[in-house]
């Protein structure tokens, strides 16, 4: 199913995007060496409750996971790239952390992810990895124009990732959002321009490039959720929820 929002519904959806963006920024500023992943989940849970929002993750139980997820945010560290299940781990300086958050507010879902190095001990290669996913995200968003196709987004993302030397995994990618978290269309991180669903004003899309150093294969942790690079290489993931409007793409999950 693909939901097409009216202008009035899009206005109702904007607060959810602002909340997700602001929450991720607040967490980024609060996290440091010594922060436990379970603390991050607890802080996020409280912010969700204070805003009368609802977690999209806590009861989530898809076929590809071992559900329900049970936590309200994904915390993926170093070689973990997707669906990182918060657990008892204290971050150290130089860890590469991805936070991925989806909530429903006013009945509308927004989904976003950020990656950053914890503390001041980061490796330049880690920052280059993060920067590449952010550039790929910007390219995908720029291609999300009315009258275009999902393949335009996918191809724009792949062009950035491959030019930077990363092999692309097409198994997990972006997706539509609306009143539920995962809807059509699937937005792979590689594709062919001019192919796939046609983009129409009123569509909400979560666009999310991610990359792994030295491989495009994933392995799953015994927790049934956390996905890691098969070679132990570091990873990064960047995501925004974007509205397709008559004037072009509008990012809903900006922090400010």
DSSP 116-183: EESTT---HHHHHHHHHHHHHHHHHHHT--TT-BHHHHHHHHHHHHHHTTPPPP-SS-EEEESSSSSE
pLDDT-based confidence at 98, cuts 50/70/90? very high
Phi, psi of 151, rounded to the nearest 5 degrees: -60, -25
**Report field, pTM of the whole predicted structure over 0.95:** yes
Q: What is the mean pLDDT of residues 180-192?
A: 96
pLDDT-based confidence at 124, cuts 50/70/90? confident
Q: How far is it, in rounded angstroms, from Cα 224 to Cα 135?
A: 30
Q: How far is it, in rounded angstroms, from Cα 99 to Cα 57?
A: 13
Q: Residue 66: its pLDDT value, please?
A: 87
Q: How far is it, in rounded angstroms, from Cα 129 to Cα 70?
A: 29
Of all residues in the chain, what percent carry a pLDDT higher than 70? 99
Q: Residue 120: its pLDDT value, please?
A: 80
H-helix segments, the chain: 7-30, 37-50, 124-142, 150-163
Burial 217-253 (b: 16+ CB within 10 A, else e): ebeeeeeebbbbbeeebbbbbbbbbbbbbeeebbbbb
Q: What is the mean pLDDT of residues 212-222?
A: 96
Mean pLDDT of the chain: 96
**Residue 121 pLDDT more than 90?**
no
Q: Are 239 and 252 in contact (CB under 8 A)?
A: no
Phi, psi of 200, rounded to the nearest 5 degrees: -125, 150
Q: How far is it, in rounded angstroms, from Cα 102 to Cα 84?
A: 14
Q: What is the mean pLDDT of residues 137-166?
A: 98
Q: How far is it, in rounded angstroms, from Cα 256 to Cα 253?
A: 9
**Residue 145 pLDDT more than 80?**
yes
- How far out from the chain centre does Cα 59 lie? 18
Q: How far is it, in rounded angstroms, from Cα 139 to Cα 159?
A: 9
Max alpha carbon distance in the chain (Å)?
48
pLDDT-based confidence at 256, cuts 50/70/90? low
Query: In angstroms, what CA-CA distances link 17 with 26, 62, 63, 244?
Result: 14, 23, 27, 14
Q: Is 197 exposed, middle or buried (0-12, 13-18, 19+ CB in 10 A)?
A: middle
Ranges of each domain in the chain: 7-251
CATH architecture of the domain with range 7-251: Alpha-Beta Complex (3.90)
Q: Residue 62: its pLDDT value, please?
A: 87
Enclosing H/E stretch for 211 = strand 210-212
210: Cα within 13 Å, side-chain hemisphere: 40
Q: Residue 255: its pLDDT value, please?
A: 82
Q: Residue 63: its pLDDT value, please?
A: 84
Q: What is the mean pLDDT of residues 245-251?
A: 97
């Amino acid at each position: 199913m693909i939901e097409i929002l009216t202008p009035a519904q899009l206005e109702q959806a904007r607060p959810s995007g602002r909340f997700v963006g602001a929450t991720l920024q607040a967490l980024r500023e609060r996290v440091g060496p010594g922060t436990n992943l379970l603390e991050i989940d607890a802080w996020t849970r409280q912010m969700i409750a204070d805003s009368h929002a609802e977690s999209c993750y806590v009861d989530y139980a898809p076929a590809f996971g071992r559900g329900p997820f049970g936590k309200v945010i994904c915390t993926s560290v170093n070689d973990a790239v997707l669906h990182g299940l918060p657990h008892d781990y204290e971050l150290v300086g130089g860890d590469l952390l991805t936070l991925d958050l989806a909530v429903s507010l006013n009945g509308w879902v927004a989904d976003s992810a950020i990656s950053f190095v914890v503390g001041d001990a980061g490796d330049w290669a880690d920052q280059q990895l993060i920067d590449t996913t952010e550039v790929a995200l910007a390219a995908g968003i720029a291609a999300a124009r009315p009258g275009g196709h999902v393949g335009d987004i996918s191809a724009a993302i792949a062009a950035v990732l491959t030019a930077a030397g990363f092999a692309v995994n097409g198994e997990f990618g972006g997706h539509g959002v609306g009143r539920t978290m995962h809807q059509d269309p699937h937005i792979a991180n590689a594709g062919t321009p001019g192919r796939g669903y046609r983009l129409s004003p009123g569509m909400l899309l979560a666009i999310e490039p991610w990359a792994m150093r030295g491989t495009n294969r994933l392995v799953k942790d015994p927790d049934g959720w956390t996905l890691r690079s098969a070679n132990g290489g570091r990873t990064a993931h960047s995501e925004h929820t974007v509205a397709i409007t008559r004037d072009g793409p509008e990012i809903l999950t900006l922090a400010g």
